[in-house]
Amino acid sequence: MLTTIPRGTKDILPGTVHEWRYLEEKIRRLCTVFGFEEIRTPMFEHTELFLRGIGETTDVVEKEMYTFSDRSGRSITLRPENTASAVRAYLQNKLYADGNITKLFYIGSMFRYDKPQAGRYREFHQFGVEAIGEQNPLIDAEVIKLGASLLNQIGLNDIKLKINSVGCPKCRPVYRKKLQAFFKDKFDELCEDCQSRFNRNPLRILDCKNPHCRELSIGAPAITDSLCDECSEHFAQLQRHLTAIGVEYALDPRLVRGLDYYTKTAFEFKYTPLGAQSAVLGGGRYDGLIEECGGAPTPAVGFATGLERILLALETQHLLPAQKNTCDVFIVAMGENATQPAFKLLHQLRDSNIAASMDYAGRSMKSQMKQANKSGAKYTVIIGDDELSKNIASVRNMKDSEQMEIPFDTLIDKLIFEVNK
């Protein structure tokens, strides 16, 4: 139907846009404080970028991507996440040229063919940060602190930070074998997805949402017992840095990230009142992704969060701001003679950066005053035949109903003064 949007999408209507702007302004201000600069990448990329960058064994690539051929037969995919795109932009535009760390953030639409539910859509909006070019765990701690600061500044309570290390290409194969040995006798009981993961990416079994698979994974070996010396020291330093800057955390050996490019640090912020969909922000280190995408070996760390999930959490705690009135002055024109002077005044006010509105339908005085009240205007200017004959306008303060008569030649300056005082 032409009047129905596709399943898994949502109109963001005028009555709620201010909530999105509130959150986005918090994000942009905080990223500026932390030294991150905004990047905007295309909504679609060559499919190969996500196959190589995200990993062919992930649920995102196997089940959730919106992929199509363009008119030239090239395989194109709507971006399901933005890290791979940010890395492509980093390499293509040589953002590494000055040799310093590159700190980026983005806000934009992502697309995944997923089962729609509360806080989860097929077109969803994501905020993320990427810090590229530094391997010191100090930057891991900084990125985690940025996420914690955002959640704290918007007032969310009951937030729990979980951290883990998922190792690196040197030590992960050792853990992989341990996991396969643990699940070997349980293989037939695993869900179909986890049976597929057994040989390709057994770490993902730990992340399965199937209750029976989660039960089967109880007692699985912890990856932190298989870390190489480098990963173990990196993880120990990260914990010391988080403690030093007052970020509380808990170790979670089951925490793995759903994308293949993660190495070492993995973290997730959970908001417990959301229940099964409690994860509101997550990320980690991905030291192999830049090389996988054709660049030189380059360390990097970042996170992403779905804005719908954050807004749902804010709504749960009654923390969303009320919509502010957007009208400063409402002009009431009484009769045909007043219409042209009222319309001229309307645009003189707008040219002076005063938010102004008026009725265009020639309604009654009573109806127009109702409109003025509904608009939330601070002042109502009334122009009728009596006012025109005297060359004045009646101006009513909508807060205390006090009314005054102001000559037309001083009206603009007076309204500018009153509105801005």
Question: DSSP states of 293-343 as a string?
Answer: TTS----EEEEEEEHHHHHHHHHHTT-PPPPPP--SEEEEE-SHHHHHHHH
Residue 167 lies in a domain: yes
Residues 148/320, Cβ–Cβ less than 8 Å: no
Q: Is residue 218 pLDDT above 70, yes or no? A: yes
Whether residue 312 is found in the same domain as residue 374: no
Residue 38 lies in a domain: yes
Average the pLDDT over each of 59-63, 102-106, 229-233 and give the range with the smallest value. 59-63
Q: Is residue 284 pLDDT above 70, yes or no? A: yes
Amino acid at 251: L
Q: Is residue 307 pLDDT above 80, yes or no? A: yes
Whether residue 295 is found in the same domain as residue 161: yes
Q: CA separation (Å) from 8 to 87, 153, 316?
A: 28, 29, 21
DSSP strands (E only) in 286-319: 300-306
Residue 197 lies in a domain: no
Domain final residue pick, 316, 350, 368: 316
Domain final residue pick, 316, 345, 376: 316
Whether residue 299 is found in the same domain as residue 343: no
Residue 212 lies in a domain: no
Domain final residue pick, 295, 316, 337: 316
pTM of the model: 0.89
Whether residue 238 is found in the same domain as residue 344: no
d(CA 410, CA 407) in angstroms, rounded, equals 6
Q: Is residue 416 pLDDT above 60, yes or no? A: yes
Q: What is the CATH number of the domain that holds 160?
A: 3.30.930.10
| Residue 154: per-residue pLDDT | 96
Domain around 259: 14-171+227-316
Whether residue 257 is found in the same domain as residue 388: no
Whether residue 358 is found in the same domain as residue 286: no
Q: What does the mean pLDDT of the chain come to?
A: 92
Residue 293 lies in a domain: yes
Task: Tell me the per-residue pLDDT of 231-259, one tens digit each, with 9 for 90 and over.
Answer: 999 999 999 999 999 999 999 988 886 55
Amino acid at 171: C
| Residue 267: per-residue pLDDT | 96
Whether residue 94 is found in the same domain as residue 143: yes
